[in-house]
Amino acid sequence: MAELVAVGFDTPEEADRVLSELARMQKEYLVDLADAVVAIRPPDGTVQLKQSVSMVGLGAAEGGLSGSLWGTLVGLLFLNPLAGFAVGGLVGASAGALSGSLSDYGLDDKFIRSLAETLKPNSSALFVLVRKAQPDKVLAELSRFRGRVLRTSLSPDQEARLQAALAGQAAAQPTMAAAPG
């Protein structure tokens, strides 16, 4: 089961930096992220969301691939597989992009926007769904950043350890067993 973690930061750039660090840790298999969104509240007070997974691009790629395959098969029936490949690819990519723009994956945008509205202007927040992690190693890496936990589905002990790490007090906290995978 994935755990929700939402952390607020005092600068607009800090959430992006933490997400970059989490992406690096994901490549090292220290954390497995299901989804991540950066919310930025610039000085004018509007909320901007930056999705880590572009559903339009993902839908277009998947639709183009399946459309090309089906177009080629249909084109074979009419003895023109190349035209079927091209037309199928275009139609599939268009339909995939449309369905990708209408779908929401992982974190709910309405929830993110409502929580991001509570941020001070000129600040940011990072929302992540974590499938599994190596808590001690991840907390040690995150202790370089300063933030505050806004919302989480972690246990009270895990939440306290995360908040302590984000406050620069990770060394004083007891170690925690690895989260079940």
pLDDT score, position 51:
81
Q: What is the DSSP letter of 12?
A: T
- Cβ-contact 138, 25 below 8 angstroms: yes
Mean pLDDT, range 168-180, rounded to an integer: 50
Residue 116: alpha-carbon gap to chain centroid: 15
For 106: left if phi > 0, alpha if psi spans -120 to 50, otherwise beta; the answer is left
| pLDDT, tens digit (0-9, with 9 covering 90-100), for 87-105 | 656 665 555 555 544 444 5
Q: What is the CA radius of gyration of the chain?
A: 21
Per DSSP, helices labelled H in 11-147 are 14-27, 55-77, 81-102, 109-116, 135-142
Backbone φ and ψ for 33, nearest 5 degrees, come out as -95, 130
Higher local confidence (pLDDT), 64 or 121: 121
pLDDT at 49 over 90: no
The predicted pLDDT at position 86 comes to: 64
Query: Per-residue confidence at 50, pLDDT binned at 50, 70, 90?
Result: confident
On average, the pLDDT of the chain sits at: 77
25: pLDDT strictly greater than 60: yes
Q: State pLDDT tens for residues 110-150.
A: 888 888 889 999 999 999 989 999 989 999 998 999 999 99
At 31, list the tokens. 């954390």
Which position has the token pair 């302590």? 164
pTM beyond cutoff 0.85: no
Report which listed range, 47-51, 77-81, 104-108, is most confident.
Answer: 47-51
| Residue 34, pLDDT score | 87
Q: Quote the pLDDT of residue 29.
A: 92
Count, residues in the chain: 181
